[in-house]
Structure 1
Amino acid sequence: MRKILAASALALTALALGPVVAQDAPALPGAPDPARVQAGTYVMDPAHTQVAFTVNHFGFNNYVGLFGTPTGSLTIDPKQPEKASLTVKIPMNEVRTSSTKLDEHLKTPDFLDTAKYPTAKFVSTSIKVDGNEADITGNLTLHGVTRPVTIDAQFTGAGTHPMNKKLNIGFSGTTTIKRSDFGIDKFVPLVSDEVKLAITAAFEK
C-alpha cells in the first residue's frame, strides 16, 4: 500500500512540476527555419565542424575516427538555395582515433600519406533542395585523386550566436565512399573498402 501511495504522490508531483519546467526551458538560439538565413557568404567555424569516418575492422567491429578543424565557405541565398556553393578543405594531419599509434599509422603511405597529400578538398558542383534537405554533389579530392561525391545533407539550424553575436548556420550530412577509388587500398577487404562519412558543419557570417 505504501508503494502505491508513494508512486501516486510521485506521479502527481511530476504532473504539477511538468508545466513549470517546460516554461523555464530557454529557447535555443538556432532553429531549422529558412527565414532566419540571410543571403551572403558564411565562413566555416573549424572549432565546431567535424567529419567522422567509420570502417569495418576485420569483421569484428565498426571503428570510428575523426577529422577536425576543416576550413571553407558557404555562399547561399535562401530564395535560391539550389544555387548555393560550398568549398571545404580538410587537413589530413588532424585525423584522430582512440589510439595515438593508429593516428600515426593513418598518416603514413599505407593510408593517407599526409606528407605528400596534406589536404582533402570538397567543392560543390550542384545542389538539389527538398525542403530542409538537400543532395549536395561535388568533387572530392583525396590522396591526389578527384572523384564525384554526393552528400545527403540536412539543414540543422540558423540564428544569431549569443556569444559572438554573429549569424550562424549549420548542417549535417552523410555519404559513403570507397577508399580504393582514391588509391587507399591497404588491407582491403580486412579493413573495409567502404568508408561511411558523417559530417556536422557550422558556418558564421
Structure 2
Amino acid sequence: MSLLTRTTCSFFAIGLLLAACGNEPEATEPAADETVVETEEATTETLETVADADAEATPAPAGVDYTAAESGTYTEDDGHAYIVFSYDHLGFSKPIVRWGDWDANLNWDADNPENSTLDVTIDATSVDTGVADFNDHLNSADFFNTAEYPQITFTTTALEVTGADSGILTGDLTIKDTTQPVTMDVTINKAGFEERGNVYKLGFSGRTTLLRSDFGLDAYVPNVSDEVDVVVEAEFEKPA
C-alpha cells in the first residue's frame, strides 16, 4: 500500500472516531425548577402524613362536663378566690394590686350555662398594694374615694359559651358613681364534686382590660397607664 493510501485511511479512521464521539448521547439532568417542585411536593406529602398520624393518635380535648357540678347557688371559696389588677407605672414596672375582701353569688344552670348569673360585691377599702401609705392613697378622693363609695359591684347581663371550656361574660361594673358595661373572657377550668369538702365546685379564670378614666380614676394619666388589666381566679362551691 502506498503512503498516500495509508495516510488517507488514517484520516478516514480518525474521522469515524471523532464522529462516534460526537454522537454520544449527553446525560440529561432535571432542570433546577423541576427539582425544587418535586422536593416541595415530597415535603408537603410527608408533613401531611405526619399531621394525619398525629390527629389519629391525639384525640380532641373533651372539654368540661358542666353537669358535673349540679345547678344551684354557689359562693366563692375565700381560700381560692382572687381579684387583682395591674397597670403600667412610668414604663418601669407593672404593679399587681389585690382586693382582699369580696363576695360573690353564682346562680349556676348546669344544663344551660348561658342562663347562669353572677353578682359580685367588692369591699373597695380592702385594696392591697403591700404598702400601707399607697393603700391610703388609693382609698383617698384621688382614686376610689372609699369614704363615700365603699363598694364596687359587678352584675352579669349575659353569658355566652364560646367553646368546650370558654365563654364571654358581660356585665355592669360600678365604681364610685359610674356604671359601665364590661366584657370578660372566661375559662371554665373544672366542674365537679370535691369529696374532701363535700361540696360541688366550679373553677373559673377571667381576664379583661379597662380604662380607669371611664370610672373617674384618671389621676396621673398618661404617666401611669389609663389601661388596667383585671384578672380573676376563683373557685365557687355549693354544699352537697
TM superposition score normalised by structure 2: 0.69
> For this pair of structures, how many residues does the alignment match?
175
Structure with greater proportional helix content: 2
Quick one: distance in 2 between partners of 1:96 and 1:123?
Answer: 23
Secondary structure of the corresponding residue to residue 94 of structure 2: strand
2:168 aligns with 135
1:32 positional shift: 4.2
SS at match of 1:105: helix
Partner deviation per Cα, 1:140-181 (whole Å, 9 max, x = no partner)? 001221000011000112233344311111101000111110
Unaligned stretches of 5+ in structure 2?
1-62
Q: Which structure 2 residues correspond to residues 49-128 of structure 1 after superposition, within 5 A?
A: 49-128=81-160
- The 8 Å contact of residues 209 and 230 in structure 2, kept in 1 or not, is answered as yes
Q: Work out whether residues 107 and 113 of structure 1, in 8 Å CA contact, stay in contact via their aligned partners in 2.
A: yes
Q: Please say if residues 52 and 65 of structure 1, whose CA atoms lie closer than 8 Å, have aligned partners that are also in contact.
A: yes
My pick for the range that moved more, 33-42 or 125-134, is 33-42
CA separation in 2, counterparts of 1:103 and 1:163? Answer: 37
- Alignment match, 2:233: 200
The structure with the larger Rg is 2
- Pairing partner for 1:167 from 182, 189, 200: 200
How many Å apart are 1:48 and its aligned residue?
2.1
> Following the alignment from structure 2 to structure 1, what is the Cα–Cα distance between the partners of residues 195 and 224?
43
Query: Which is bigger in relative contact order (C-alpha 8 A, separation at least 6)?
Result: 1
Q: Percent identity?
A: 37
Structure 2 letter corresponding to 1:137: T
| Conserved? CA contact 1:45–1:71, under 8 Å | no
Aligned to 2:224: 191
Deviation at 1:134, TM superposition (A): 0.6
> Per the alignment, do residues 48 and 36 of structure 1 end up closer, same or farther by CA in structure 2, a change over 3 Å counting?
same
* Equivalent of residue 151 in structure 1, options 184, 193, 196: 184
RMSD over equivalenced CA pairs, Å:
1.5
Aligned partner of residue 74 in structure 2, secondary structure? strand
Deviations 1:101-130 (A, max 9, x none): 111111111111111111100100011102
Give 1:44 deviation, angstroms.
2.1
Runs of 4+, deviation exceeding 3 Å: none
Letter in 2 for 1:72: A
Structure 1: unaligned runs, 5 residues or longer: 1-30
Residues 66-91 of structure 1: per-residue CA shift (max 9 Å, x gap): 11221021112121111111101111
Mapped to 2, the partners of 1:94 and 1:181 lie a distance apart of 22
TM-score w.r.t. the length of structure 1 is 0.81
